[in-house]
């Protein structure tokens, strides 16, 4: 099965991610009629190749991207570099610009990533007094171990 096509169909069906724990992706593939051994293999391959990303926390879910993404590296950049980044436009536009820069200009995938992080509860809007405006803040659960 073509992983890129499968990831694109999952992203279209679940733009805010598939709610649930780690087994939710395999369960979904089983419901789509894929036999269990193949469903397990596909779930592992989607995750290993960067198309599927498990986001733990208060609102756990699987996020899907149309192209492979190193989500941990992106989240590290959001944690370490984004606070110093100053972009144009509102807080949403600024975050999308930062993500798109890290994704070689792919704004569509930047939107997919931002939506997934928001749905998982990792994004909140807050006033930034130094810039005298609202910004998006990114907070990631310790379970992700971004610095390993």
**DSSP states of 47-97 as a string?**
HHTTSEEEE-SSS-EEEE-SS---HHHHHHHHHHTGGG---SSSHHHHHHH
Question: Cα separation of 12 and 6, whole Å?
Answer: 10
Confidence of residue 130 (pLDDT cuts 50, 70, 90): confident
Q: What is the pLDDT of residue 129?
A: 84
Mean pLDDT of the chain: 92
| Among 14, 48, 64, residue at a domain's last position | 64
Question: Cα separation of 68 and 98, whole Å?
Answer: 18
- Report how many domains make up the chain: 2
Q: What is the mean pLDDT of residues 124-143?
A: 87
pTM as predicted: 0.89
pLDDT at 77 over 70: yes
Owning domain of residue 92: 71-144
Question: Is residue 106 helix, strand or coil?
Answer: coil
pLDDT at 147 over 70: no
Q: What is the CA radius of gyration of the chain?
A: 16
Regarding whether 59 and 78 lie in a shared domain, the answer is no
Q: What is the mean pLDDT of residues 103-131?
A: 93
């Amino acid at each position: 099965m073509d992983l890129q096509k499968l990831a694109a169909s999952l992203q279209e069906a679940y733009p805010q991610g598939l709610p649930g724990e780690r087994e939710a992706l395999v369960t979904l593939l089983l419901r789509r009629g894929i036999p269990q051994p193949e469903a397990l293999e596909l779930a592992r391959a989607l995750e290993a190749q960067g198309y599927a990303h498990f986001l733990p926390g208060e609102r756990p879910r699987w996020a899907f991207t149309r192209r492979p993404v190193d989500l941990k590296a992106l989240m590290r950049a959001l944690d370490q570099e984004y606070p110093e980044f100053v972009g144009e436009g509102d807080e949403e536009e600024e975050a999308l610009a930062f993500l798109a820069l890290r994704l070689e200009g792919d704004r569509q995938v930047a939107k997919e990533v931002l939506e997934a992080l928001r749905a998982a509860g990792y994004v909140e809007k807050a006033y930034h007094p130094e810039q005298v405006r609202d910004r998006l803040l990114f907070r990631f659960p310790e379970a992700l171990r971004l610095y390993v």
